Structure 1
Amino acid sequence: MLITTPVGSREAVSAARWPVPEERRTVTVLFVDIVGSTGLVERLDPEDVRTLQRAYFGTVSGVLRRWRGVVEKYVGDAVMALFGAHGCDGFDAYRAVRAGLEIQAALDRRPAGDTRLRVRVGVATGEVLVDLTGAHDGGHGAASGAVITTAARLQEYAPPGGVVVCPTTRRAVAGLVEQRPLATMTMAGKAEPLDVWRVTGVSRHRPARHHGPLMGRRRELADAADEVVRALRERRPRWVSLVGPPGSGRSRLLHELTRAVSRVDGAEVRWCVAHCPPYPDGELAPLADLVRALLTP
Structure 2
Amino acid sequence: MAIGRRTRDALAVIAIALACAGLLLSPAFERGRGLSLDALTWLRFEAFGNRHDAATSPAVVIAIDEESYQAPPFKGAPLLTWTGEIGRVLTAVLDGGAKVVGFDMVFQTSIEQSEIPLGDSTLGEKTRGFDRDFLRALASAATGGKVVLGEIFGEPPILPAPGQRIAVRQQQNLRPLNTYTDSDDVVRRHPLSLSADGKIIPSMALELAARATGAAPIIAADRVTLGDYAIPGRVPGTMTLNFAGGADDIPTYSFADLRACALKGDKDYFRREFTGKVVLIGTVGIEDRRVTSKRFATRAEGARRPRCVLGERRVAETFARSTIAGVYIHATAVNNLVRQEAAVELSRPAIFAIAAGMALLAALFARLLRPIVAGAILALLAALYVGLATTLFNRALALPLGEPLAAGVLALVATTGYRFMVTDKDRRLLQKSFAYYLAPREIDRMLASRRLPQLGGETREVTVFFSDIEGFSRIAEQMSPEQLMALTNEYLSAMTDVIEAHDGYVDKYIGDSVVAVFGAPLDDPDHAKSAARAALDCKAKLDELNRTSTAFQGIKVAQRVGINSGAALVGNFGSQRRFNYSVMSDAVNVASRLEGANKFYGTTIIASESTRSLAGDAFAWRELDTIRVKGREQSLTIYELHGCAGELSPQEQALLSGYAAGLAHWRAGELPQAAECFAAGAHDDRPSALFAARVTATTPNDATAWDPVRTLQEK
In the superposition, the TM-score normalised over structure 2's length comes to 0.25
The superposition leaves residues 38-97 of structure 1 with CA deviations (integer Å, 9 ceiling, x where unpaired) of 111012111211111111111111101101110101112110000001243421011111
Q: Which residue of 2 aligns with 1:46?
A: 481
Q: Would you say 1:200 and 2:642 are equivalent positions?
A: yes
| CA RMSD after TM alignment | 2.5
Stretches of structure 2 lacking an aligned partner (at least 5 in a row): 1-452, 547-551, 648-715
Structure 1 segment 66-215 matched on structure 2, within 5 A? 66-111=501-546, 112-131=552-571, 140=580, 142-158=582-598, 159=601, 162-204=604-646
Tell me, in whole angstroms, the C-alpha distance in 1 between the residues paired with 2:484 and 2:476.
6
Q: Distance in 2 between matches of 1:41 and 1:19?
A: 39
Question: Residue 37 of structure 1 aligns with which residue?
Answer: 472
Following the alignment from structure 2 to structure 1, what is the Cα–Cα distance between the partners of residues 636 and 554?
Answer: 38
Partner SS state of residue 617, structure 2: coil
State the SS of the aligned residue for 2:541: helix
After TM superposition, give the deviation of residue 204 of structure 1 in Å: 4.4
8 A contact 2:573–2:581 mirrored in 1: no
**Letter matched to residue 85 of structure 1:** A
SS for the counterpart of 2:529 is helix
Tell me how far apart the structure 2 counterparts of residues 183 and 49 of structure 1 sit (CA, whole Å): 35
Which SS does the other structure have where 2:569 is aligned?
strand
Distance change >3 Å, CA 91–CA 132, structure 1 → 2: farther
CA deviation map 1:240-289 (0-9, x unaligned): xxxxxxxxxxxxxxxxxxxxxxxxxxxxxxxxxxxxxxxxxxxxxxxxxx
Structure 1 residue 161, shift from structure 2 partner: 6.0
Deviation at 1:21, TM superposition (A): 4.2
**Matched letter for residue 554 of structure 2:** D
Q: Cα 1:87–1:61, aligned 2, differ >3 Å: closer, same or farther?
A: closer
Tell me if the contact between 1:120 and 1:163 (Cα under 8 Å) persists in the aligned partners.
yes
Supply the AA of the counterpart residue of 2:561: V
Cα shift at 1:140? 4.4
The aligned amino acid for 1:201 is G
Which amino acid in structure 2 is aligned with residue 172 of structure 1? L
Distance 1:124 1:80 in 2: 12
Decide whether aligned partners of structure 1 residues 140 and 31 sit closer, same or farther in structure 2, where only a CA change above 3 A counts.
farther
Displacement, 1:192? 1.9
Partner of residue 264, structure 1: none
In the alignment, the residues of structure 1 paired with residue 494 and residue 614 of structure 2 have an alpha-carbon distance, to the nearest angstrom, of: 26
Instruction: Name the aligned partner's letter for residue 604 of structure 2.
Output: G
- Identical counterparts, % of pairs: 29
Deviates more, 1:82-91 or 1:102-111: 82-91
Distance 1:46 1:26 in 2: 40
Q: 1:113 to 1:149 in 2, by over 3 A?
A: same
Determine the C-alpha separation between the residues in 2 that align with 1:72 and 1:51.
Answer: 21
* Structure 1 residue matching 2:588: 3-state secondary structure: helix
- Secondary structure of 2:616's counterpart equals coil
Distance in 2 (CA, whole Å) between partners of 1:47 and 1:30 is 28
Question: What does residue range 12-31 of structure 1 map to in structure 2 within 5 Å?
Answer: 21-31=456-466
Look up the equivalent residue of 2:537 and give its one-letter code: E
SS in 1 for 2:621: strand
Question: Per-residue deviation at 1:160?
Answer: 5.3
Higher helix proportion, which one? 2
User: Residue by residue, what CA displacement relative to the aligned partner does 1:113-151 show, whole Å, maximum 9, x if unpaired?
Assistant: 3022110000000111111699xxxx8461110111100
Q: CA deviation at 1:190?
A: 2.6
Tell me: higher relative CO, structure 1 or 2? Use CA pairs within 8 A at least 6 residues apart. 1
Q: Give 1:191 deviation, angstroms.
A: 2.8
Q: Where in structure 1 do 4 or more consecutive aligned residues deviate above 4 Å?
A: 18-21
Task: Confirm or deny: 8 A CA contact 1:120 1:160 kept in the other structure.
Answer: no
Whole-Å separation in 1 of the counterparts to 2:454 and 2:625: 43
Deviation at 1:187, TM superposition (A): 2.0
Residues 572 and 581 in structure 2, CA contact (< 8 A), matched pair in contact too: no
CA distance in 2, matches of 1:149, 1:140: 18
CA contact under 8 A between 1:23 and 1:130: conserved in structure 2?
Answer: yes
State the SS of the aligned residue for 2:630.
coil
Consecutive unaligned residues of structure 1, counting only runs of 5 or more, are 1-17, 206-297
User: Whole-Å Cα distance in 2 between the matches of residues 86 and 41 of structure 1?
Assistant: 34
Separation of aligned partners in 2, 1:188 and 1:54: 31
